[in-house]
């Protein structure tokens, strides 16, 4: 049998003891039950923020997937409405220590990319920096480097998060490509290792 405020009203020692009681949502037509700490039972009247918003005249938030779909439709109709529209490697100003590199002849997003790409260039490996953005299931992905004449891509990343790993996994599965990930700071030996890997896949 659930504990209710009435069963504990005669014992004031339970008010601040963290005892949880079962409440019924006060919104008409809801009737959902929820648990709350006894000391908050007089302030908590509704089972969720949605019910509270409906009673107090605040519309509920739109589902995130619906918002994402609306944004995709808006960007498809008007690409310039995307805040990232026009952010090519030439004018990109991100948080990394990148910028225009005179040796490479174009701008990069980080110093790691600069050093690794310099190594590929010195070794005579033809590559394309940020070749194209591809569409995944619910997002997009922009690989860092494409080795010319192959379907071999290189991703140079530092702080590797779960979302980045999932995007790379989807990219490989959906487009049937090969992807090599570099996630350590550039050194002479690591640059040489990347050069050797790229030479092995070149035609």
> Does residue 147 form part of some domain?
yes
Give the span between the Cα atoms of 1 and 102, in whole angstroms. Answer: 75
* pLDDT of res. 59: 63
Q: What domain range includes position 73?
A: 62-88
Question: Is residue 93 assigned to a domain?
Answer: no
Give domain status of residue 94, yes or no. no
Do 161 and 190 reside in the same domain of the chain?
A: yes
- Give the total number of structural domains in the chain: 3
* CA–CA dist 197, 195 (Å, integer): 5
pTM: 0.55
Residues 116 and 168 in one domain: yes
CATH of the domain at 142: 3.40.960.10
Tell me the sheet residues that pair with 154.
145, 180
- pLDDT one-digit tens code per residue, 59-79: 666 667 777 788 888 887 877
Q: Are residues 118 and 159 in the same domain?
A: yes
109 within some domain: yes
Looking at the predicted structure, is the pLDDT value of residue 135 above 90?
Answer: no
For 1-36, write each residue's pLDDT tens digit: 444 545 545 454 544 556 778 888 888 888 888 888
């Amino acid at each position: 049998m659930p504990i209710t405020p009435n069963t504990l009203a005669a014992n004031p020692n339970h008010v601040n003891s963290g005892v949880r009681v079962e409440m019924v949502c006060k919104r008409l037509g809801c009737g959902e039950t929820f648990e709350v700490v006894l000391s908050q039972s007089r302030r908590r009247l509704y089972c969720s923020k949605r019910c509270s918003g409906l009673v107090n005249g605040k519309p509920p938030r739109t589902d995130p997937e619906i918002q994402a779909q609306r944004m995709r439709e808006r960007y498809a109709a008007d690409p310039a409405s995307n805040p990232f529209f026009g952010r090519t490697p030439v004018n990109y100003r991100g948080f990394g220590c990148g910028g225009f590199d005179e040796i490479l002849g174009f701008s990069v997003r980080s110093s790691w990319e600069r050093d690794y790409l310099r190594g590929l260039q010195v070794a005579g490996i033809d590559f394309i920096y940020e070749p194209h953005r591809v569409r995944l299931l619910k997002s997009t992905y922009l690989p860092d480097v494409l080795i010319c004449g192959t379907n071999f891509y290189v991703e140079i990343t530092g702080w590797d998060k779960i979302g980045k790993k999932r995007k790379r996994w989807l990219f490989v599965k959906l487009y049937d490509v090969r992807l090599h990930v570099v996630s350590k700071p550039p050194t002479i030996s690591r640059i040489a290792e990347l050069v050797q890997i790229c030479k092995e896949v070149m035609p």
